[in-house]
Chains A and B, each alone.
Chain A
Amino acid sequence: MSHLTKRFGAQVVVDDISFEVAQGETLVLLGPSGCGKTTLLKTLNRLIEPDGGTIEINGRDVRQQRPEELRRGIGYVIQQVGLLPHLTVAQNVGVVPGLLGHPAAATAARTTELLDRLHLPAARFGAMLPAQLSGGQQQRVGLARALAADPPVILLDEPFGALDPLTRAAVRRDFRELDELRRKTIVLVTHDVQEAFELADRIMLLDRGHIQQLGPPRELLLHPANAFVRSFFAAEHLALRLRVTTLGEVQPFWGAAAPAAGDGLPTLPLTASMQQALDSLLTPEEVAAVAAPKNQPLPAAAEAPADSPGTPAALTVTLPDGSRVALTLPQLLAAFGRAMAAE
């Protein structure tokens, strides 16, 4: 989009913003309340019409199409989900294929596929009404609905904001692990910094209608463009460092590492982040299994760490030459600390 401007009355909400999003990229719009990120998102599918500037998707000006046709080619997920209360789960998911005139059999198959993949078996949930589902389940249906017609672009406006932290993490993980999203261009709005760092290829940090910085998460954290950016990440700096620091960067500091014992431990490459390493040590499944609501199917059982309470947890790291070493948690954390100190 170029020179996008949007005013509400006398207030300039989006001020002369220009940027590009590459195909298959996940761009996260991040910023404090009122910075214009939601407004910006909604100009992409013309729910809000800008006062100035142009938007092009695949080289085509969005204003050339009728809004309805444009939107049927863009997935849209909102915080309050907005499932149609009088339609079943399956009917909700099939809405856009229906609008596009897809054959019913194909739609049904696609619906089943998506629901199953989002851990809501269609056989059981397909005929239910939205009111019978929990918040997390509703948002999974919302995601399925946005993906049903296989749109190349997906817009999400604080999609996990209404969920409790545990559900949020679970749904977010399911979302991240959907294969087909890798080929899609995703623009996601959030004010949750952790979420932005977890999901984004690039982050666009906004404040009061202006772009403060646009770049990969690592760049915003380590090379902030201005004081605003620096202070925006200041509070969670350490947690974010864990996300952007790879095992490869920590490797020089972890000293002697024992060769990997067996296949029982979680295994990660050097490109994995510290956060991923920590996550695999104390897997979300274990956390979720404790707190899962009764009607949510349990995800596939994780590999249990091959240790008992009292002994330190460990993981296996695969080195470039193919060998594998085992690292304990204290080792890992100490290495990280030394790496930070050495900067």
Chain B
Amino acid sequence: MLPELLTFWHDQAGKLAHQTEQHIGLTAAALLLGVAVGGPVGVWLTRHPRWRGVVLGAAGVLQTVPSIALLGFLIPFMGIGARPAIVALLLYSLLPIIRNVVAGIEGVPPAVVEAARGLGFTDGQLLRKVELPLALPVIMAGIRTATVINVGVATLAAYVAAGGLGEFIFEGISLNNPVMLLAGAIPSAGLALAFDAGLGALEKLSVQRLRQVGIGLLVALPLLAGAYWLPPLLARPGQVALHAAFSPEFIKREDCLPGLSRTYGLGQLTYDMLAPALVYEALRDGHVEVIDGYSTDGRIRAYGLQVLRDDRHALPPYYCAPVLRPELLRAHPELGPVLDQLSGQLADSAMTLLNYQVDYLHRDPKTVALAWLRRKGLYKAPRPLRPGAPAVRLGSKIFAEQYILIEMYAALIRGNTDLAVETKTGLGGTTICFEALRGGSIDMYPEYTGTGLQVLLQPSAAVLDSLGGRPDAVYSYVQREFGRRYGLAWRAPLGFNNAYCLLMRGQQARELGIGSISGLGKYLGK
């Protein structure tokens, strides 16, 4: 693994340097703020001991909250980017700093404090000339602890578009690439050690040198922290600067951003890495102008977002169709036409609306499915079942779209045949569903052509090129190969394509006249 690691670092040296710089900036900024806030709070607590339980308890709670949850909580108030990251780091470092300030000051022998007061020190002089100098070793230990914690937590900053060494780590996770993961993790650990050693050396300096270094740091640290906020690219007059946020997987997958960028000339588009869970809200709230998403996600409708048409078919197709065991149809031939009742019936917009009703209006998938069937005139009341009637076992993955589809199929089967239906929903992920189908635990589940191609069949690059991303070519290939390799059958697609897509705010897309990805490329090239 070592040679690959070194190669990776060599190739990505520029990015590594930039991320390290961002990481240092985040940590330094949070450290300065942590001391600026935690120091006075700690001192205040030594003068008002009754509050100690409350304040230290609160700081402790802040630290127990998982860092990513803390980040997620701050985003609605602070947006994405460096600001919530630094605030989260600040909150995280408060406990060690405050606690050590309190412990350090209270560790000063009471006789010394009493003597100092008796000699005529004011409170301020007592603090500055007696308590703080004597408490310094303990306080520094707290600061060092906080710093090392911060370097680690700062890796999460990448998830909220704040950059840092976490970017390599997340890309490594999403693509299951350990080299990439280590490429980010090792420098991060090294940075933690460097900070700790640096602070340790600072502790040993004599008072005079400390003043010089302190002043130097006061100048350097904000510069370091500020270098991070490089001014955004100047937009030409009359043009809106477009900035994007993409999820880690989208950035790295060849058929996603790299491929799109080549096909449509999107090189001018600046972007940050952002957690998939956060991209929709970031777009809605105006922090970014373009994101990646899934084309039937309910939030597209909820937030008034616009899918940019993939007019050159650069993104792989993910047409949904049921995959089933041929034995099922051989045993119950009447099933075929029943299942086909849904073919081609669900367009993107229809599926998006149904997803929206379940995810955002929090309606029950079954209710939503049946209502839609009724509107389409496809609903039939369930037929009475004979005891011992054979059951069709339907499986699904764990998101709303799958639950809705399963309920539709279940209703159709119950209404049109004498078969019973068993649903096994919530099978976690593609591989699990697929193995369940192959092994015979389920008879059918809804799959996507693109997933079948990329994840399950995994053909060579040559084959992928030859398919060229055309929906029908991909479908035919997948159908053929599934039959050949696994003995499984694909029915006709339902009509909608739940693929990766680029999204913009509907209003802005209209204002700028961008309706497709080509349009975006043209706008950027202007």
A80 to B108, CA, bound (A): 14
Interface: A86 (CB within 8 A): yes
Among A99, A142, A155, the one with the most B-chain Cβ atoms within 10 Å of its Cβ is A99
A residues 67-93 touching B (CB-CB < 8 Å): 68-73, 76, 78, 80-86
A residues 250-289 touching B (CB-CB < 8 Å): none
B10-18, B120-128, B500-508 - the one binding chain A: B120-128
Interface: B1 (CB within 8 A): no
**A142 — nearest CB in chain B belongs to which residue?**
B115
A78 to B119, CA, bound (A): 11
Nearest Cβ distance between residue A260 and chain B, in whole angstroms? 48
CB pair A82–B121 under 8 Å, yes or no, is no
Interchain CB contact (< 8 A) of A71 among B119, B130, B133: B119
CB pair B114–A85 under 8 Å, yes or no, is no
Nearest Cβ distance between residue A255 and chain B, in whole angstroms? 53
CB pair B119–A99 under 8 Å, yes or no, is yes
CB pair B114–A72 under 8 Å, yes or no, is no
Nearest Cβ distance between residue A88 and chain B, in whole angstroms? 13
Given A81-B111, A85-B112, A86-B134; A47-B119 close (CB under 8 Å):
no
CB pair A71–B118 under 8 Å, yes or no, is yes
Nearest Cβ distance between residue A337 and chain B, in whole angstroms? 46
Produce 1/0 per residue, B81-96, CB < 8 A to A: 0000000000000000
Interface: B43 (CB within 8 A): no
Q: Main SS of chain A's interface residues?
A: mixed
CB pair B119–A96 under 8 Å, yes or no, is yes
Interface: B117 (CB within 8 A): yes
CB pair B120–A72 under 8 Å, yes or no, is yes
CB pair A76–B111 under 8 Å, yes or no, is no
Interface: B387 (CB within 8 A): no
B residues 111-164 touching A (CB-CB < 8 Å): 111-122, 125, 130, 133-134
Residues of B with C-beta under 8 A to A47 = 114, 117-118
Counted as pairs of residues, one from A and one from B, with CB atoms less than 8 Å apart, the total is 58
Interface: A95 (CB within 8 A): yes
Interface: A112 (CB within 8 A): no
CB pair B117–A71 under 8 Å, yes or no, is yes
A residues 46-73 touching B (CB-CB < 8 Å): 47, 68-73
Interface: B232 (CB within 8 A): no
Nearest Cβ distance between residue A11 and chain B, in whole angstroms? 21
CB pair B118–A145 under 8 Å, yes or no, is no
CB pair B111–A145 under 8 Å, yes or no, is no
A85 to B133, CA, bound (A): 10
CB pair A69–B120 under 8 Å, yes or no, is yes
A68 to B120, CA, bound (A): 4
CB pair B111–A72 under 8 Å, yes or no, is no
Interface: A45 (CB within 8 A): yes
A95 to B112, CA, bound (A): 13
A45 to B122, CA, bound (A): 13
Nearest Cβ distance between residue A101 and chain B, in whole angstroms? 12
Residues of A with C-beta under 8 A to B122 = 68
A83 to B405, CA, bound (A): 81
Nearest Cβ distance between residue B252 and chain A, in whole angstroms? 55
A71 to B132, CA, bound (A): 22
A78 to B112, CA, bound (A): 10
CB pair A78–B120 under 8 Å, yes or no, is no
**B117 — nearest CB in chain A belongs to which residue?**
A47
Residues of B with C-beta under 8 A to A81 = 111, 115
**A72 — nearest CB in chain B belongs to which residue?**
B120
**A71 — nearest CB in chain B belongs to which residue?**
B120
CB pair B121–A99 under 8 Å, yes or no, is yes
A142 to B109, CA, bound (A): 16
Nearest Cβ distance between residue A99 and chain B, in whole angstroms? 6
CB pair A76–B115 under 8 Å, yes or no, is yes
B residues 208-245 touching A (CB-CB < 8 Å): none
CB pair A78–B111 under 8 Å, yes or no, is yes
Produce 1/0 per residue, B162-178, CB < 8 A to A: 00000000000000000
**A42 — nearest CB in chain B belongs to which residue?**
B118
Nearest Cβ distance between residue A76 and chain B, in whole angstroms? 3
Nearest Cβ distance between residue B437 and chain A, in whole angstroms? 75
Nearest Cβ distance between residue A342 and chain B, in whole angstroms? 48
Nearest Cβ distance between residue B376 and chain A, in whole angstroms? 82
CB pair B111–A68 under 8 Å, yes or no, is no
CB pair B119–A95 under 8 Å, yes or no, is yes
Produce 1/0 per residue, A9-43, CB < 8 A to B: 00000000000000000000000000000000000
Residues of A with C-beta under 8 A to B111 = 78, 80-82
A155 to B114, CA, bound (A): 13
Nearest Cβ distance between residue B112 and chain A, in whole angstroms? 5
CB pair B134–A85 under 8 Å, yes or no, is yes
Nearest Cβ distance between residue A280 and chain B, in whole angstroms? 36
Nearest Cβ distance between residue A53 and chain B, in whole angstroms? 21
Given A81-B111, A82-B111, A83-B112; A76-B119 close (CB under 8 Å):
yes
Between A and B, 26 residue pairs with Cβ closer than 8 Å are A45-B118, A47-B114, A70-B120, A71-B117, A71-B119, A76-B115, A76-B118, A76-B119, A78-B115, A80-B109, A80-B115, A81-B115, A82-B111, A82-B112, A82-B116, A82-B118, A83-B112, A84-B112, A84-B130, A85-B109, A85-B112, A86-B133, A86-B134, A96-B120, A99-B119, A145-B119
Residues in A lying within 8 Å of B, measured CB to CB: 45, 47, 68-73, 76, 78, 80-86, 95-96, 99, 142, 145, 155
Residues in B lying within 8 Å of A, measured CB to CB: 109, 111-122, 125, 130, 133-134
Instruction: Please name 15 further chain A to chain B contacts, defined as beta carbons within 8 Å, in addition to the given A68-B122, A80-B115, sorted by A numbering.
Output: A47-B114, A68-B125, A69-B120, A72-B120, A78-B115, A80-B111, A81-B111, A82-B111, A82-B118, A84-B112, A84-B116, A84-B130, A96-B120, A142-B115, A145-B119
Which 5 pairs across A and B sit closest by C-beta, in order of nearness? A82-B115, A76-B118, A72-B120, A80-B111, A71-B120
